[in-house]
Structure 1
Amino acid sequence: MSEAAVAADEQDLRRLALSHWSAAARARVVTVTVTSDRAEVTMLVNGDYEYWQYYVHFDGAWHLTVEGNGPTWGWDDPRVIKW
């Protein structure tokens, strides 16, 4: 995958992750990690509350599959989690 495509995916994922929160939540993206057709977005919400979102890419777009206040181990391995 080209650097431009990776950057576009990361930008799309940042936008999607933030779209789930109101401005009052002061949400910010800390990291975006893309592995093949899966992605993990780590965030801070309300200042210091850690939050994770997991996406799968299909039909030409990223789709939120799991989110919560803790990491999901094995998110990047289709043999472990079949989203």
Structure 2
Amino acid sequence: MQTEFDKYLEFPCLFPFKVLGAAREDLVDDVLAVVQQHAPGDYSPTVRPSSKGSYHSVTVQVTVTSKDHVETLYKALGAIETVKYVL
């Protein structure tokens, strides 16, 4: 990824990741497992269902330490099988 996070953020900082995926019970667990792998900590994600209930949005605030850390988390969260988007 060729992002410019380092131009706009001062590290370390809290960074919100919003993960949109298929509405299933394991989505939150899968998101937290990836986050724990790359940034161990105690997290309290918020979950919102889509209007039709087909998708869930999971938002989690993660303390990131660098541009590479942000990019790694984006890639890892996007690799979850039922995830459609990571914002």
TM-score (norm: length of structure 1): 0.41
- Higher strand proportion: 1
TM-score (norm: length of structure 2): 0.40
Highest relative contact order (Cα 8 Å, sep 6+), 1 or 2? 2
